[in-house]
Amino acid sequence: MQLKSITARLVVSAGVAYSYVWAFWLQGETVGSFTEVRDGTTNVTSATSPQAVLMGLVGLAVYCVLLNTPVGEQEFRVAPMWRRAAAFAVDFWLAVFSLGALFGFMDVSLEAARTGTFRWHFHRDYLVATDGVSLALVFVALATFVAYFLLPLMTRSQTVGCWIFRLATVNLDGYVVYLPFSTAMRRLFAEFRGVCSPLLDRRTKGRPMPDVDWIRKLCLSFPDATEDMPWGDDLCFKVRGKIFTGMVLSDGRFPRITLKCAPETFHELLEIEGISPAPYVGRRQVGNARQLQRVALRRTRNPDSPLLRPSRSESAKGKGHTQENAKQTQ
């Protein structure tokens, strides 16, 4: 069975769905380890089962296979929000369930080494020396959870959820990117923020949207910013002749807006719903900036937003030009 076949994806999807149903409806005990302090009493509980360990190992095996399978994409298309959210939900559940089953097995094994009797579930209301090892395992599990999402970004591969829904992180030329650790961390945070953006937008749903006059006033507030209409009804804002923002006035009061951003933040901004590469110029690097087309203006309410800010190089050139003019005047 090839990894690219729809049958393989359906089989793995069915396995993930079964693990969820099994954990919440068919399993009598909660899988994992728990420590609770209540009324001065410490309760330690750990549980797993052969079936949970087997499913966790299968999930880990599938992940390792995908981790060693490079991905090559030919078509560049921004994924819809529902696919990204579904892939994140699959990855989150698979990582939590697999780590809970496997690290829970380590806890019951430590308890068996202490008592001499192996049980798939134990509960006690006191602490022992091996609980220190269990605490260390908690931090190892958290680091492993983060690594589940980071390693595919650093090896040009996919997580299980991204593989099921045919998602990959690509550059503007359609090639799967290889990210260093620091960039992968920022990309992971941007993905989480992008998936949660519909929930964040709900908090600001009733606020008024910025219109043409608001955007024009904000753009002209930057040092040495000017406005121009070089192409019919396209209103552009420049710093020393270089465009950093533009919008089409024929769209009405709330137009689409094209913005420049730094290359290192390009993919992070694409994770926000409503942002997509600008047509014609989205694949071309202009100096140290690339262009984005803003379809919805909900996120431009903050005057300090980087979506409506000239690049540092343009601002620096503008300030230097102003200082030079001032010296000549004096």
Question: Closest by alpha carbon to 5, among 13, 68, 20, 64?
Answer: 13
What span, in angstroms and rounded, lies between the C-alpha atoms of 257 and 307? 10
Q: 188-197, pLDDT tens digit by residue?
A: 877 777 666 5
What span, in angstroms and rounded, lies between the C-alpha atoms of 290 and 262? 6
Count CB-CB contacts under 10 A for residue 159: 24
Q: Do the beta carbons of residue 48 and residue 31 sit within 8 Å?
A: yes
Per the DSSP assignment, residues forming a β-bridge with 43 are 36
What is the per-residue pLDDT for 13?
A: 94
Task: Say if pTM beats, i.e. exceeds, 0.85.
Answer: no
**Would the CA dihedral through 108, 128, 28, 14 be positive or negative?**
negative
Q: How confident is the model at residue 178 (pLDDT cuts 50, 70, 90)?
A: confident
Per-range mean pLDDT, top range of 99-113, 157-171, 255-269: 99-113
**Counting runs of H as helices and runs of E as strands, what totals does the chain give?**
9, 9
DSSP 3-state assignment of 122?
Answer: strand
317 vs 223, 238, 310, CA distance in Å? 10, 12, 11
Q: Tell me which architecture the domain covering 212-315 has in CATH.
A: Alpha-Beta Complex (3.90)
Q: Do the beta carbons of residue 44 and residue 115 sit within 8 Å?
A: no
Q: 258-271, pLDDT tens digit by residue?
A: 877 777 677 677 76
The domain ranges of the chain are 6-202, 212-315
Q: 30-87, pLDDT tens digit by residue?
A: 788 888 888 778 888 898 999 999 999 999 999 999 999 887 655 556 677 788 889 9
Question: Closest by alpha carbon to 32, among 158, 164, 146, 145?
Answer: 145
What angle do the packed helices 131-154 and 181-203 form, to 10 degrees?
90
What is the per-residue pLDDT for 5?
A: 76
Q: Is pLDDT of 101 > 60?
A: yes
